[in-house]
Amino acid sequence: MSISRREFIQQMLSLGVSAAVVAAALSILDCSSQPFPGPGSDNTTPPPPPPPPPGDAAYLAVARGESPRAMVEAALAALGGIERFVRPGNDVIIKPNICVSFRTPEYAATTNPEVVGALVALCLGAGAGRVRVMDNPFSGSAEEAYPTSGIEEAVRSAGGEMEVMAGMKYQDTAIPYGQKISHWPIYRDILETDVVIDVPIAKHHGLARLTLGMKNLLGVVTNPGALHTDMPQKLTDLATLVRPHLTVIDGVRILMNNGPSGGSLSDVKMANTVIASHDIVAADAYAATLFDLQGEDIGAIRAAAHRGLGTMDLDAIKIEEIPVGA
């Protein structure tokens, strides 16, 4: 009798098996929707890099236009379609940036709701059994932030679910490849689900310089403030374990200054861009160019590339740029 990745994890955890042992054991399962093997136990060995795209699909896609939904659809089509990542019956978690409860979408502090809604619709159209959207705001409650961001309405209109991240679901978890952090409380469902889609908004950050796909992963842990010291290495440690299957960066409106929460429309630039890749490092490196920066200018991107989590060498990969009509 076959067993799914999620069922295997749930059964092992219920028996008291540690998260590290479960992760190592995943390599023996047929986890066709999970592109990365489970982490090993030797943190001197880098985790496996992202796999190459199938066939003639782009490694990274960049769509530009005026319709967020159309840009998402075009970018995913260039990568080989959402079906490359989501299979019938899959449990999908979409992780946008909903960092505060007091900013509406035009301030570019939170992910564009149309981008998130489009992804929900695509996943359900591919036969996903369940699509949940969640984040843990650092200011205000999720109950306040979800509707203010516009994401709650977009998700529900598309047929998805908004989940408030429950404190009881955070579990102290081993990070076998960690060099600065060897364990941290991580939201259990993020590690157990079939597919994780990381959907940050591209914006300025006072400490990290930019907050993009890797920085967005702080929304799945407790006490993220403690990871702001030596942030590049700690974000890289976290990214060795929390490895989204797909990263879609919202560059519709980007926050050029006073991030991460902004507050002035004068800091917002209409970039009308959506970036997508299975490689979070490549996606972040391309997003940096929206701010006239390169991947090596951002500590987390540089650290993750050096650790082998992806590539920041944009000249070495196939990038498809797609103009999208209104």
Q: Which domains, and CATH codes, for the chain?
A: 48-323 (3.40.50.11440)
* pLDDT-derived band at 31, boundaries 50, 70, 90: very low
306 Cβ contact list (under 8 Å, min separation 6): none
CB 228 within 8 A of CB 207: yes
- The Cα-based distances of 223 to 43, 129, 167, 193, 233 in angstroms read 23, 31, 12, 22, 16
The pTM score is 0.87
| Mean per-residue pLDDT, 236-246 | 96
pLDDT of residue 32: 35
Per-residue pLDDT tens over the stretch 45-72: 678 888 889 999 999 999 999 999 999 9
Q: How far apart are CA 249 and CA 230, in angstroms?
A: 24
Look at 25 and 79; give whichever has higher pLDDT: 79
pLDDT of residue 85: 96
Which segment of 16-25, 87-96, 218-227, 296-305 scores lowest on mean pLDDT? 16-25
Average pLDDT, the chain: 89
Per-residue pLDDT tens over the stretch 186-233: 999 999 999 999 999 999 998 889 999 999 999 999 999 999 999 999
pLDDT of residue 100: 94
* pLDDT-derived band at 272, boundaries 50, 70, 90: very high
**Per-residue pLDDT for 92 more than 90?**
yes
pLDDT of residue 37: 37
**Per-residue pLDDT for 283 more than 60?**
yes
Q: How far apart are CA 294 and CA 302, in angstroms?
A: 10
